[in-house]
Amino acid sequence: MTRTVLVVDDSATVRNLVCKTLQSAGFETVEGVHAYDALHQLRTMPAPALVITDINMPMMHGIAFVQQLRRIPKMLRTPVLLLTTEDRQEEKEKARAAGATGWVTKPFQPEQLLAVVNKVLG
């Protein structure tokens, strides 16, 4: 069974790179162009195996997105990885408090992203 990952980033280039990396490892991907788009998709699709999201996005900050995502009952246990240029400990603590599972700093190597994804998904 193919596992689905929701990839949320306002940068089409980053979304494309993340999706291609995940697809090369056998994952199905769904793209969210911003947090509101992703929240709409999460309400209408089966729960994905994983959500990967940027922090710095227009309209809704990534940490606020994680907080909103955690209010959807089917998303309570779904792992959420933050993929961002931010690397401050304060931001990581806010993200974890909001319900994020882990963190990958941009720029990233595809192998690095896949290693974190596989670790989180077990």
Query: What are the pLDDT digits (tens) for 27-36?
Result: 999 999 999 9
Residue 39 has pLDDT above 90, yes or no: yes
Residue 1 has pLDDT above 80, yes or no: no
Q: Cα(121)–Cα(39) distance, rounded to whole angstroms?
A: 21
Residue 49 has pLDDT above 70, yes or no: yes
Could you tell me which of 56, 53, 57 has the C-alpha nearest to residue 29?
A: 53
Residue 24 has pLDDT above 90, yes or no: yes
User: Tokens at residue 34, please?
Assistant: 């911003």
Question: Mean of the per-residue pLDDT values for the chain?
Answer: 94
Q: Give the model's pLDDT for residue 72.
A: 96
Domains of the chain: 4-121 (3.40.50.2300)
The sheet carrying 80-84 orders its strands as 28-32, 4-8, 50-53, 80-84, 102-105
Rounded mean pLDDT, 10-36: 96
Model pLDDT for residues 60-112, shown as the tens digit of each residue: 999 999 999 999 999 999 999 999 887 788 888 999 999 999 999 988 999 99
